[in-house]
Structure 1
Amino acid sequence: MLDLDQTIENIKQCKLIPESDIEEICTLLIDILIDESNIQHLHTPVTICGDIHGQLHDLITIFAIGGELPQTQYVFLGDFVDRGFNSLETWLLLMTYKLKYPSKITLIRGNHESRQITTVYGFYDECLRKYGSVNVWRYCCEVFDYLSLGAVINGRTEGGKGEKEGGGGSGSGSGVFCVHGGLSPEIDSIDQIRILDRKQEVPHEGGMCDLLWSDPEEDVKGWSISPRGAGFLFGESEVDKFLHLNNVGLIARAHQLVMEGYREMFDSKLVTVWSAPNYCYRCGNVASVLRIDDGLNRDYKVFEAVEFDEEVAGGKRDGGGGALGKKPVVEYFL
């Protein structure tokens, strides 16, 4: 039988978890995620976390400053892996916490929770170096396919009846819509997200792709082509339209490095939350998490990177975040 408490402690210390235990963790987690909807409905108070990118020690800091489980409810907006020294441990810690406290932690898929992306930006190579095969990577990627695409905090009940939940204000804009990337020209309503087939590799185009890849842009009117090569740039008019049609007041998303840890846009109707301080161990940025209380008030907790022993964390990495020292530097800040 899997000892979750001991496994969690071993993960935090970067101890190698037996491959058979990882397979069991992934199998058990899929059994939980398969019953969750594309859009998870959450009640306040909730703490929202942005990109983590394999920075295990900073993830541990998040639980220290944001509140330990199960006293605090968390929603993570994706990009758990790639770039950092400890993508595997980061993902394992989140998975084991989800197994132990399934109603207290919500995991939303990011664009890096993808087979194609992880083979280039570190996670695949890290698993191969640590276990000598790709089995662990394959188990984890299978879990990625079952992650939710978004969440609504204190918003409509499922089925689109327009009811309010919790203590989230009155009138138009009473909830928070959480997503990794942004909006899509193919999706007007949250109900449309509910019926997407999420159990697949991230497609290269379409509504599901856009939710994971799109970005807001101040100077864009409507929609514009994204320089990322996937998703779109969208402006304030599209944010206003989406908020009005879905009776929410805020879009909380991640996906973009923000040097100050968070950034509100469009008259505070959209916020980008970034939770990987000193991203790639060289960007020098601070990070944040966002707590939403029962009145839908926002409390940003800003924090800096922690110091750690690189050898204990996983040794030296190559420029592309890989482990075998065969890949060139890949300048990629998604």
Structure 2
Amino acid sequence: MAPPAVTEDSLSQSPPQPPPKAGGDVAPHVITFRGLKFEVDRWLELVSQCQYLPEDVMLQLCSIVISRMSSQCNIAKVTSPATIVGDIHGQFYDLVRLFEKGGSPEESTYVFMGDYVDRGYYSLEVLTYLFLMLVKYPNRVVLLRGNHETRRVSHQYGFSEECIKKYGHMAIWRECCNVFDKLPIAALIDNKTFCVHGGLSPRLPTLDSVLHLQRNIEVPPAGPLCDLLWSDPEDYESGWCMNPRGAGWVFGRDVAQEFIKTNNLDLICRSHQLVQEGFKFIFPDILCTVWSAPNYCYRCGNIASILKIKPDGSRDVIYFDAVPSEAREVPNRMAAPYFL
């Protein structure tokens, strides 16, 4: 049975706080937004139990994230040490294990490359947890947009239905989609590692052209923004080819080499495609795929990975398996709204 949502009754007492760090007590992380206090640590403690927030709190959280994202440019600038994360797809318990493997954002900036929702059981809880982490660590957590962070795709593949089952209506899904419109579309680590969800675009040959792209829109079915979220590399192709997905392009090693040379980069890092081994260089030394949803869809049997970028430029791939089935909850087909 799925863990229950947070109810108003559960808010009458503060949940247990994590032990203070050595050297003294640590004050709870509280921010003030539009005259209201938002108790980040309190909500993180609850959501970490695979619960979702009351509707008014979730709406406030979305507003906070929108406010913070609106002032950011298309390419988030990151300084190492950094931890690069691929697709999550609603696998909440595996997300918790990911942080156990990767460590605290206080030690390394996390760059998530999109696809937080759909497919898995807990898209809402995954997204809520990541929004809270972004609010708590605004300079240490970067959330990029994936091709599932759109109205069209998340309506088709499960996130909107999940929000209706848990909240009883579509308002939360709509507000989350408004957040999606504000997410950066790429990240640049130490000016050398370019992170994007899908791949490249023939209309965006330079980082400057990516910076000038209009991102605050629903992703169209074609065009440069669509390309960044949907394109795929292929080792046996050259140039640009039609993508069998029906969106974006398939591009060859020569395209990636030209992008690397033009923009003085060392590596293109992306996700978007399941790789059974969790991490794979598609084009040796210049383009890799990081996949962070182990046993994808609870049946693919793959392992997962995160990629660590160190200040000296070295890289470390950390692999992890899915949380065992006996250590995770499987929700009922119809989850009751939190207010029932």
Length-normalised TM-score, structure 2: 0.86
Q: How does 1:36-185 map to 2 (within 5 A)?
A: 36-155=72-191, 175-185=192-202
Given residue 181 of structure 2, which amino acid in structure 1 is its aligned partner? Answer: D
Amino acid at match of 1:106: V
- Confirm or deny: 8 A CA contact 2:93 2:328 kept in the other structure: no
Find the aligned partners of 1:311 and 1:112 in 2 and give their Cα distance.
24
- 2:236 is aligned to 219
Which aligned pairs between 1:237-252 and structure 2 lie closer than 5 A?
237-252=254-269
Q: Report the counterpart of residue 288 of structure 2 in structure 1.
A: 271
Q: Compute the displacement of 1:267 (Å).
A: 2.1
Q: Offset at 1:92?
A: 0.3
Separation (CA, whole Å) in 2 of partners of 1:198 and 1:80: 18
Q: Structure 2: 5+ residue runs without aligned partners?
A: 1-36
Q: Secondary structure at the match of 1:17?
A: coil
Query: Aligned letter for 2:159?
Result: F
Cα separation, 2, equivalents of 1:80 and 1:282: 18
- 1:194 Cα deviation (Å)? 0.4
TM-score, with length taken from structure 1: 0.87
Deviations 1:290-319 (A, max 9, x none): 0000122110000000025698453348xx
Give the count of matched residue pairs.
300
Distance 1:62 1:188, change over 3 A: same
Q: Judging changes above 3 Å, is the alpha-carbon distance between structure 1 residues 116 and 309 closer, same or farther for their aligned structure 2 residues?
A: farther
Runs of 4+ in 1 over 3 A off after TM superposition: 308-313
* Structure 1: distance between partners of 2:152 and 2:222: 14
Preserved CA contact (<8 Å) 1:114 1:201: yes
1 CA distance for matches of 2:309 and 2:130?
Answer: 21
Q: Which one-letter code corresponds to 2:54 in the other structure?
A: P
Deviations 1:229-256 (A, max 9, x none): 0000000000000000000010000000
The aligned residue for residue 304 of structure 1 is 321
Amino acid at match of 1:14: C
Distance, in Å, in 2 between the alignment partners of 1:308 and 1:115 is: 31
Give the residue type in structure 2 aligned to 1:123: F
Aligned residues: CA RMSD = 1.5
| 2:25 is equivalent to residue 25 of structure 1 | no
Partner residue of 1:3 out of 28, 39, 45: 39
Q: Is the 8 A contact 1:57 1:308 kept in 2?
A: no
> Percent identity between the aligned chains?
46
Q: Is the 8 A contact 2:52 2:124 kept in 1?
A: no
Contact (CA 8 Å) 1:8, 1:96: kept in 2 or not?
A: yes
Report the Cα distance in structure 2 between the residues aligned to 1:93 and 1:64, rounded to whole angstroms: 14
Give the drift of 1:265.
2.2
Gaps of 5+ in 1: 156-174, 318-322, 325-334
Is the 2:78–2:109 contact (alpha carbons within 8 Å) kept by the matching residues of 1?
A: no
Instruction: State the secondary structure of the residue aligned to 1:224.
Output: strand
Equivalent position amino acid for 1:277 in 2: P
